[in-house]
Amino acid sequence: MSAFLALIRRDLRLTLRAPGEVLTLILFFVMIGVTVPFAIGPDKVLLARLAPGIVWIAALLSALLALDRLFRPDQEDGSLRALRHADISLEAVALAKLIAYWLTTAVPLMLATPLLAVMMNMDMALLGRSLVSLLVGTPGLAAFGTFGAALTVSLRHGGLIAPVLILPLSIPILIFGASAAAGGALASAGNAALLLLAGLSLAVTALSPFAIALALRLSED
Amino acid sequence: MESPLDTETAKKMTWFDRIAHPGQFLMWSRYVLLPLAVGSALLFVLGLWFAFFNSPPDYQMGDTVRIMYIHVPNAWLSQFVYALMAVSAIGTLVWRHPMADVSMKAAAPLGAAFTAMALFTGALWGRPTWGTFWEWDGRMTSTLILLLMYLGLIALWRAFDDQLRAAKIVAVLTLVGAINIPVIKFSVDWWNTLHQPASVFRADGPTMPPEILTPLLVMSLAFTFLFGVLHIVRMRTEIFRRRVKSLERKRALEGAKTS
């Protein structure tokens, strides 16, 4: 257990030591929110209606941006090989990586979501629903992202192909996530969507360490 | 003179070895190919004759209903090919079957082509009957996502130089995709639905009259045979390609030694 926590702490410390990447991530996330009104017009009612979907799209794209730093540095400096022979199983390593990835991408994005809410003319209720849906759904997204990064770890240009592989798989999470965030007349369907999202996200997060560890094992030998 | 070792291994050869060994596969698949191709051609002739001349036009859709005889077999194969790839993926990961990854690799572009054909014919059929080429309806959307998954798998195959390593990684993605397909289907259905419900495979029997069902089944069988032919041809090509590659490597090694 201590090794597991140490792994998470290591990844957090590595990220905090070079905070530029997380800041870039937040910048990218906010920028999507800034550019969308230019594309669809400054109509406040329309923006508020589209806001939950835009927040989810922005979160999905930003999370893809950070995929390459999940296993690539560890692969390059050889620590991934060391982790394969560590005391804890590779599945636990995968889960630790997944948690660290979620803490360093999804949590900053959720903290930046209120900024997007102001620009999209979301009211407090809608912001609350969006944040809850992000909190519930992003672990599942992070699990798919970690899986994609593990599949492509032995490729030199894996950064481009991993998003193509995991986007189709992430569609259910996007569907339930955006529905759960929608308010107003759709709120009752949104509650059902939130439950489905929670179930899906938990199942994906629980099962993904096995797939990630398998992919890591097979990419090395 | 044959060594005793050879005859012993020859005796032990089971049907499983026969499909597992690339050389053996090349031997027997040559003789299977022609009957399969002829069978496919005959079924197509029969099925098309039924479809065009010996089946009634629909009382609502008129003659456009004949698009179904192309559309439904392609849609069926789009799912069948993925199932075959998932079985091959298990073969690669669990039994380390040497032909399983060849089968998986050969099937992916075929599956993508059948899925694209199902979407294309569906669009042609949707225009006169629903008044639109594309609708974000449950079944259409999940077929589109299936196509994206096929294309992702092909892209992953092509990203690797080492095809044996690629096989294992692609097998993992194929299986994760196979587990995900029902979830995607459920989520997309939940999201939006317009498509007619299943009408061939149902517990209380098909809801179609037999004069429409017959050409449909014949055409489905014809397309499935066609897939069998193309799959075997592609598998043979893949084996030859690997042999050429290993010969080239050997040649380059010898060249490096002599110079």
- Tell me which chain A residues have a C-beta less than 8 angstroms from the C-beta of B180: 169, 172
What was the pLDDT predicted at B95?
86
Scored b (16 or more CB within 10 A) or e, A27-52 reads eebbebbeebbeeeeeeeeebbbbbb
For B166, the closest chain A residue by CA position comes to A219
Partner-chain contact A168 B190, CB within 8 Å: no
- For chain A, what are the domain ranges? 2-220
- In 3D, which of B9, B26, B59 has the Cα closest to residue B235? B26
Largest Cα separation within chain B, whole Å, is: 78
Minimal C-alpha gap between A199 and chain B (Å):
11
Q: Does the structure show a pLDDT above 70 at A53?
A: yes
Residues A156-188 have pLDDT tens digits of 776 688 999 999 999 999 988 988 887 656 667
- Tell me which chain A residues have a C-beta less than 8 angstroms from the C-beta of B183: 172, 200
- Cα separation, A69 vs A153, whole angstroms: 10
Partner-chain contact A155 B187, CB within 8 Å: no
Q: Does the structure show a pLDDT above 80 at B18?
A: no
Residues A87-111 have pLDDT tens digits of 889 999 999 999 999 999 999 999 9
Q: What is the number of alpha carbons within 13 Å of residue B109 lying toward its C-beta?
A: 12
Q: Does the structure show a pLDDT above 60 at B195?
A: no
Sign of CA dihedral A77, A79, A85, A89: negative
- Cα separation, A16 vs A92, whole angstroms: 22
Q: Does the structure show a pLDDT above 50 at B4?
A: no
What was the pLDDT predicted at B1?
42
DSSP string spanning B39-100?
HHHHHHHHHHHHHHHSSPPBTTTBGGGGGHHHHHHHHHHHHHHHHHHHHHHHHHHTS--TTH
Q: Does the structure show a pLDDT above 70 at B6?
A: no
pLDDT band at residue B197 under the 50/70/90 scheme: low
Residues B56-68 have pLDDT tens digits of 777 777 778 888 8
In this complex, is the C-beta atom of B73 within 8 Å of any C-beta atom belonging to chain A? no
- Cα separation, B162 vs B158, whole angstroms: 10
- Tell me which chain A residues have a C-beta less than 8 angstroms from the C-beta of B151: 164
What was the pLDDT predicted at B204?
55
The pair of three-digit structure tokens given for residue A134, joined into one six-digit string: 């992000």
pLDDT band at residue B191 under the 50/70/90 scheme: confident
Partner-chain contact B190 A196, CB within 8 Å: yes
- Cα separation, B169 vs A161, whole angstroms: 13
Percent of chain A whose pLDDT exceeds 70: 95
Q: The complex's ipTM?
A: 0.88
In this complex, is the C-beta atom of A143 within 8 Å of any C-beta atom belonging to chain B? no
Q: Which of B172, B180, B186 sits opposite A151 (nearest CB)?
A: B172
What was the pLDDT predicted at B131?
81
- Cα separation, A215 vs A195, whole angstroms: 30
Percent of chain B whose pLDDT exceeds 90: 44
What was the pLDDT predicted at B235?
94
Minimal C-alpha gap between A13 and chain B (Å):
31
In this complex, is the C-beta atom of A206 within 8 Å of any C-beta atom belonging to chain B? no
pTM: 0.87
Pick the residue of B92, B174, B181, B190 with the most A CBs within 10 A to test the interface with A by mutation.
Answer: B190
The pair of three-digit structure tokens given for residue B240, joined into one six-digit string: 């030859």
What was the pLDDT predicted at A102?
94
